Amino acid sequence: MPVRQGAARLLLHALCAALVLTGCADGGGPSGAVRTPPGTDDSARHAASPLPAPPPRGIPGLGPATGAGLGDANRQALVVTGEGPDSSGSSAVLYERDGADAPWRPVLGPWPAHNALRGWTREHVADDLRSPIGVFGLGDAGGRLPDPGTLLPYDESPDFATSGTGFLGEPLEGSFDYVVAIDYNRVTGTTPLDKERPLGAERGGGVWIHVDHEGPTRACVSFAEEHMRELLLALDPDKLPLVVMGPAAELRR
């Protein structure tokens, strides 16, 4: 082969090799592959769509110590959150869940509420004018008015009638038209009127959820009558309802 012809062929092979290498460097690929035009951001086309955040499983506002009071079998929780340790103003929300591993969801409320005149305490005693802090069962109901259709055992009795005035001079009449007993220092499975006190009389008792009389209570929690009816119709003994009650800072513990 003449020298000039061989040199020409070598030069031709070198040019082809250079073209192949250049194609790989600028994103070339197999035949038919789609190339991204220069200056185009292709990351969005290949990015995965963000997954929605899972719903929180715990109840908002409840810390680990308070939340530990709710067992796996409890599927209803009425959370009564006080404005402060010495305040008689509070609010309430009823939460439910479908099972131990399901998230809690609000189903009623928020409702304005009253608690005791002097606020809250973890060591409630008779006549301290404070509501007990804690997690308590809700299993028995009653009132002066007929049963509105609750699933809880309901004791209709004229003994729920009351009179007189509250701390602000407001009339107390009708306050016990509907009540739900809070299982603090009482025998569960009995009428709210039952006066047996397992912890002793000095620890107080007769702590109820009842109709609001537009003023502070002695130890109870109170809602408007329409909200009491809603609560009575919603509570289900098969869901082992509880009340979680106390000032916001304590519930966050």
pLDDT (tens digit, 9 = 90+) per residue, 134-158? 999 999 999 999 999 999 999 999 9
Of 77 and 39, which is predicted with more confidence?
A: 77
**What pLDDT is stored for residue 24 in this prediction?**
35
Three-state secondary-structure class, residue 5: helix
Of 200, 169, 170, 167, the residue nearest 185 (C-alpha): 200
Q: What confidence category does residue 21 fall into, taking pLDDT thresholds of 50, 70 and 90?
A: very low
Mean pLDDT calculated for residue range 196-219? 98
CB-CB contact of 79 with 96 (8 Å): no
Mean pLDDT calculated for residue range 122-134? 98
Structure tokens at 32: 């038919």
Return d(Cα 246, Cα 91) in angstroms, integer. 10
How many CA atoms does the CB half-sphere of 246 hold within 13 Å?
Answer: 22
Nearby residues of 74 by Cβ (< 8 Å), 6 or more positions away: 239, 240, 241, 242
Mean pLDDT calculated for residue range 103-126? 98
Structure tokens at 67: 């939340």
Share of the chain above pLDDT 70, in %: 78
Mean pLDDT calculated for residue range 153-168? 98
Mean pLDDT calculated for residue range 101-107? 96
Nearby residues of 61 by Cβ (< 8 Å), 6 or more positions away: 79, 81, 248, 251, 252
Q: Are strands 179-182 and 134-143 parallel, antiparallel or unpaired?
A: antiparallel
Give yes or no for residue 187 having a pLDDT over 90.
Answer: yes
Return d(Cα 222, Cα 112) in angstroms, integer. 9
The continuous run of DSSP H or E covering 24 comes out as helix 3-25
CB-CB contact of 72 with 237 (8 Å): no
Strands (E), the chain: 76-82, 89-96, 105-114, 120-121, 131-132, 134-143, 154-156, 179-182, 208-211, 221-223, 242-247
Mean pLDDT score of the chain, rounded to an integer?
86
Minimum mean pLDDT range among 15-29, 142-156, 162-176, 217-231: 15-29
Q: What confidence category does residue 49 fall into, taking pLDDT thresholds of 50, 70 and 90?
A: low
CB-CB contact of 215 with 170 (8 Å): yes
**What pLDDT is stored for residue 161 in this prediction?**
97
The continuous run of DSSP H or E covering 43 comes out as helix 43-46
Structure tokens at 13: 């092979």
Return d(Cα 173, Cα 162) in angstroms, integer. 5
Give yes or no for residue 33 having a pLDDT over 80.
Answer: no
**What pLDDT is stored for residue 57 in this prediction?**
74
**What pLDDT is stored for residue 74 in this prediction?**
98
Minimum mean pLDDT range among 2-11, 109-118, 182-191: 2-11
**What pLDDT is stored for residue 51 in this prediction?**
53
Return d(Cα 240, Cα 73) in angstroms, integer. 7
Give yes or no for residue 163 having a pLDDT over 80.
Answer: yes
Of 210, 231, 184, the residue nearest 114 (C-alpha): 210
Minimum mean pLDDT range among 34-48, 105-119, 124-138: 34-48
Return d(Cα 122, Cα 65) in angstroms, integer. 14
